[in-house]
Amino acid sequence: MAEKNIYGNTPPMLGAKNLTETDDYNTDVLFYGVPWEASSTWGDYTGVELGPKQIRLSSERYSTYLPELDHINVEDHLSFGDVGDVAVNPHNVPETVGIIEQFTEKLWNSGKFLVGIGGDHSVSYPIVKALTNTGKKVGIIHLDSHYDNYEDYHGDKYARSTPFKRLYETEGVRNESLIHAGIKGPRNKPENGKAAKEAGAVTLTINDIREQSDLKAYANEIYDMAAKDVDVVYLTICSDVLDFAFNPGGPVDGNGLNSYELLTMIYEFGKRGLCGMDYVEVYPMQDANQNSAHFVSTAVLYVLAGHIDGGHHK
């Protein structure tokens, strides 16, 4: 109904309580959007700033019941709130980075499970920086085709291709617990792999994942690497970790995970214990049926189902 919409025709994510006009974050899970696109790093492939709106619109179709996961109904165990969108400034990149950091630090201080909806991948830097500001030492599971660790993009230090370089430089992130998983393809360059290695970050390619005989066990190994010597583990998912056959509203990258593989892994991560997550790089303008935006609801529910089944909601 219109009165519960967070703006215009846009409902709260997955039927969440509308928390846009209060600072009383009295739900277990907090959704927020980051409608941000900085430098466009590939021609006219653009529109990712529309992701939070379309993902919320698509989520209205779904319940929180997952019969394939022992008939769990997520909302029976966790309450949802949607705090709305970060008020970005499209004309000022550094200012927006600071705005995102300030906005999410307030949310992190609530102690709730945070789910950020992007937006391009640059948003993960200020989100995690805000988490480190709370005094936490952070490990990161980064699911992506690409490292996103360039020094800059034509002088822009906060482009979508740079956030993990900024995170390597962030004191509260343990680089050895930063796991780049699903890496593949020639849109990466030699300097990306070199930068990850020099920083001490871990690279797991698509072949490392695909060649496992037990994906659930391997997901737990990945979690163990991310959780070593840190206080919390954060999950960030770029849509293009999926093969483009499963991600028509994302960058064109083949040889990726299928949806079952991704869901299996993130359920296991959730089960082990995450402090929060983001899902980024959904391009509604590129996707006539909004398949990629629809999938985000399922991905989020799988993480939250794992969170419940691991006993972290109590």
pLDDT in tens, the chain (314 residues): 445 899 999 999 999 999 999 999 999 999 999 999 887 666 667 889 999 999 999 999 999 999 999 999 999 999 999 999 999 999 999 999 999 999 999 999 999 999 999 999 999 999 999 999 999 999 999 999 999 998 888 788 888 889 999 999 999 999 999 999 999 999 999 999 999 999 999 999 999 999 999 999 999 999 999 999 999 999 999 999 999 999 998 888 899 999 999 999 999 999 999 999 999 999 999 899 999 999 999 999 999 999 999 999 87
Closest CA to 269 of 193, 202, 313, 217: 217
Does 314 reside within a domain? no
Predicted pLDDT of residue 222: 98
The strand pairing partners of 10, in sequence order, are 7
- Whether 28 has a binding-site annotation, put simply, is no
pLDDT of residue 42: 62
23 annotated as belonging to a binding site for a ligand: no
To the question of whether residue 294 is assigned a binding role by annotation, the answer is: no
Q: What's the pLDDT at 3?
A: 55
CATH code of the domain in which 245 resides? 3.40.800.10
In a domain, residue 179? The reply is yes
Residue 170 maps to a domain: yes
What confidence score (pLDDT) does residue 279 get? 98
pLDDT of residue 1: 41
Query: Is 313 marked within a binding site?
Result: no
Distances (CA, A) of 9 to 6, 31, 193, 303: 8, 17, 43, 27
91 is in an annotated binding site: no
Q: What pTM was estimated for this model as a whole?
A: 0.96
Residue with tokens 């690497």: 225
Between 93-108 and 124-133, two packed helices, what is the crossing angle to 10 degrees?
50
Per the structure, how many domains does the chain have? 1
The answer to whether 82 is a known ligand-binding residue is no
- Domain membership flag for residue 210: yes
The answer to whether residue 28 is domain-embedded is yes
Q: Domain span at residue 169?
A: 2-309
